[in-house]
Amino acid sequence: MKSNKEKDSFFIEERKSLSPSITGNSLPLEIATRIDLYPENKRRPVNKTIVKNEYFQLTYNMKENSLNISSRGDLVYSAIPYDTARNYIQRAAIQYLLHPEAAHQYIESHKINLETYLKLSIFQVTNKRVDENSAKVTQAYEAIFKDPLFEIQILGRLLQHDETGALSANLAGKFLFSENVKTGISGYISEYLKFVVQLTQALPLMTDGKNIRLLDSVMQNSAISANHLTFESDITSALSLLPQEVKQTIENSIIIGSQTIPTNNKLLLRSEFGKELSEVRQNYVAHSVDPRELEQYFENVLPIKNPNLVNVVSDVHATDEKLPFTNKNFNIIVGTSEDSPIVDEEIKGLYVIGNHELSDVLPKSQSKENEEWKKWTPFFKNKWFQGLMRNPDDSWYQLPIGDHIYYECVKDEIEKRFPKMNVLNNNSFVHNGIRYIGLTIPVVLVRRKKAQQKFILEALNQLLNKDHDSPTVIVSHAPLFNELSMLSPDSTAYKKDYVCSELKIEKLFEEYNIIGAIHGHHHIPASFGRYKMVHFAGKELFVVCSIYSKINTGFELMNLLKSEN
């Protein structure tokens, strides 16, 4: 086994070994020169090893042209069964390296919610209830800031809380230091930090804890790189806070003060504890509660005001008759903003129709004789409309293709509620030199893909209007097709047949200055990223999916627009 010093040297030497020759057809230079270094790549047609150490590896997916950091199998992330916070905790680890003081402040701003979690955690361990003024709660809260690896975990849990809602299962292992030391998560974090820092020092890479990319493959501006770890990142402040053995392994060249923080980063290895972990999982009872049921016990401590110049948001699902964020600039609402009638007379921008609006705009009166139902009576005979009235969730896939008169009626109702928004039902709008084409695609219609793509082709032909030069962004609630979707193929919602099979659509993308696409619908967690760059129709396009959450009141599109122009 190599010593820590030898491991550091290993990364440094690998960086020097990058050859100027390309060993692959269209692979980036930094990737192509590394594939032959690992013999196992000869029998791996898709995921090629680029760099690895004892516990982690960097792989390159040949089909998706993407990089991924993953555990090599023996290192266990968490002894807590079905712990879903790994991406959040990895993201928190990167942010702690880059902005330790901001991470500390973020945790402190959530004190009131942390006290609630700590009270529940203590109850789960002792079966005794305490209040927020209890000495036990105070001690548990103070313990968060005494161990950086535990503080990183708390930051990750809070990111998850703000994005997905209140947590309920195994709170003691997540929030009490005395219980957390048994989970092995600190050991995972320490090894993860070592790997990503050495990796970004060895190769021109950037990572935010979830996504990892070559520096040359993304826009180079401070708004994006500020939250990404690269070889240029100044992590001196964070290193001085980490346990002595962790910081020395990460970067021996930095001289740290003599203060020593005790370490609780014992590794949890499957080779040593596999049987015990398997038994715990087999006997596990979650006792989890739907986050919506727990919301009443927690407060939103994050600001709702959003300064983005071009603010993209989707899937707000507001239930209290108002939008839960404010933005006085230009907003792009990508459908499904409401699960109750919302009225906002001030918000400006554009709006495309999502699936939930199709039923939420209908009158709340049960009596079909009511005057409010008059405009909807022409649709009563349609099976899909009957389904919308009775049980919308079971009828989405019966919806008409997006050139139906029903959508125009829905548009009229949305315009009444958002008088300053431009509701795009298969039409376009120009803002600051960018043409936005809003297509009505409420859901993914896999079985009627051919008809749907015929509609997309006809609508784009009409709306592009032979203007080949104007930079154009296509906006739709559900993605146009898989090639322009943020949804991962690993998701249960992913439909592999939902690909672009109409070659004329691809030809349009080639001929016109289409620079990107925006969608929502799939509720993709923020930790997966809000955008990606894809290759389609012979060029690079951005794809944005901005789902609303307390931590995400919108995505700033301006950075991508500037880059593309």
pLDDT, tens digit, for every residue of 428-450? 999 999 999 999 999 999 999 99
Which of the four pLDDT bands, split at 50, 70 and 90, describes residue 557?
A: very high
DSSP symbols for 266-324? ---BHHHHHHHHHHHHHT-------HHHHGGG----S--B---SEEEEB---B-SSS-S
272-282: average pLDDT: 80
For tokens 């009166």, name the residue: 365
Q: Does residue 219 or residue 298 have the better pLDDT?
A: 298
pLDDT of residue 216: 64
CB proximity list for 465: less than 8 A, separation 6 or greater: none
Please, which residues bridge with residue 430 across strands? 435
Give the residue carrying structure tokens 């699960």.
339
**Res. 225 pLDDT band, cuts 50 70 90:** low
Decide if 492 contacts 524 (C-beta within 8 A).
no
SS3 383: helix
pLDDT at residue 5 above 50? no
d(CA 276, CA 272): 9
Tokens for 183? 């989970």
Please state which of the ranges 255-264, 316-325, 389-398 shows the lowest mean pLDDT. Answer: 255-264
Please say whether the beta carbons of 503 and 524 come within 8 A.
no
> Average pLDDT for residues 485-501, to the nearest whole number?
93
Lowest mean pLDDT among 9-18, 424-433, 443-452, 515-524: 9-18
Residue 532: how many other CB atoms lie within 10 Å: 18
Chain segment 385-425, per-residue pLDDT in tens:
999 988 998 899 999 999 999 999 999 999 999 999 999 99
Region 487-498 average pLDDT: 92
Is 310-564 assigned to CATH 3.60.21? yes
| Alpha-carbon radius of gyration of the chain | 26
Return the pLDDT at 565.
63
Residues in the chain: 565
| pLDDT tens-digit map of 140-151 | 999 999 999 999
Residue 221 has pLDDT above 50, yes or no: no
Amino acid at site 214: L
Q: Does residue 14 surpass a pLDDT of 70?
A: no
Range list for CATH 3.60.21 in the chain: 310-564
Most confident of 3-12, 120-129, 265-274: 120-129
Q: Tell which wins on pLDDT, 307 or 278.
A: 307
**Percentage with pLDDT > 90 across the chain:** 59
**Which of 52, 60, 56 has its CA nearest to residue 29?**
60
Mean pLDDT for the stretch of residues 196-213: 88
d(CA 114, CA 133): 13
Structure-block tokens of residue 453: 């793509």
As a whole number of angstroms, the distance between CA 58 and CA 206 comes to 13
- The confidence score (pLDDT) of residue 198 equals 87
pLDDT (0 to 100) of residue 151: 97
Q: How confident is the model at residue 34 (pLDDT cuts 50, 70, 90)?
A: confident
- Give the model's pLDDT for residue 161: 94
Confidence band of 269 (pLDDT split at 50, 70, 90): confident
